[in-house]
Amino acid sequence: MTEPLRIDLDRSSPVPLYHQVAMQIEAHIQSGLLQPGAFLENEIALAARLGISRPTARQALQELVDRGRLVRRRGVGTQVAPERIRRSVELTSLQSDLEQAGRRPSTELLGYDVLPADTETAELLEVEPGSPVVRVRRLRLADGEPLALMTNVMPESIAPSAEALRDGGLYEALRARGIVPKVARQRIGARTAHAAEARALGEPARAALLTMARTAYDDAGNVIEHGDHLYRASRYLFDTTLFAS
């Protein structure tokens, strides 16, 4: 930061001081005055400048960290978090959503295995147990930053190659093979990250993750693929429009 942020406190207000500080910092982020990656003064300097206690300043910054607005890195400082990816709940791929948002997607292919379908996979894909299926595991990045861990299974007969999935999105690769997703059944949830997941996504231990399980079908009602995806809650959200009946 080149100049300290203007923060006006009303000490007669019933709103706690830490929350007043947090709300005004967030307003500066929303207005664009504070851009992603911008540094904030540390809690000692903030407390001294505003005439508040250090625990109050720490609580204000921590509130914004918990809400995904700020990130704190040991030895680096407190920065405005990267803008969260907003994804509409439609039948699109993460690849196309990132491109439309002006982000640069890339993929690390963590696994590409051909194996016989176990009972659970066979039920998901509506194939016979033992049928050959492809299981793909990928780490999706946006502008070089980890964003999602994605596991997809599909019948081997329609599966794109590993090379195609390194270079682009799954649905784009399926369409290139003449397989067009038409409808999907999807469930969105949340849970805490396991240790390996947190490391892969660059999150602290037991960080909050968004989950999405999706089964996609073609226009004949055949199952194309089933995916189980994990997203960083601090960087990603689903955006839904609701209509009254």
DSSP string, 53-73: -HHHHHHHHHHHHHTTSEEEE
Which of 46-50, 182-186, 226-230 is the least confident region?
A: 182-186
- Structural domains in the chain? 17-80 (1.10.10.10), 85-239 (3.40.1410.10)
**Model pLDDT for residues 32-50, shown as the tens digit of each residue:** 888 888 899 999 999 999 9
Mean pLDDT of 200-209: 91
Better-scored residue on pLDDT, 88 or 219: 219
Q: Percentages helix, strand, coil for the chain, rounded to the nearest 5?
A: 30, 35, 35
Mean pLDDT of 60-84: 81
Q: What is the pLDDT of residue 125?
A: 95
Task: Write the DSSP string, 163-229.
Answer: HHHHHS-HHHHHHHTT----EEEEEEEEEEPPHHHHHHHT--TT-EEEEEEEEEE-TTS-EEEEEEE
Cα 19 from Cα 21, distance rounded (Å): 5
Mean pLDDT of 83-102: 60
Cα 134 from Cα 12, distance rounded (Å): 63
**pLDDT at position 242 over 60:** no
Mean pLDDT of 129-158: 94
Instruction: Tell me the whole-structure pTM to 2 decimals.
Output: 0.63
- Tokens linked to 23: 């709300």
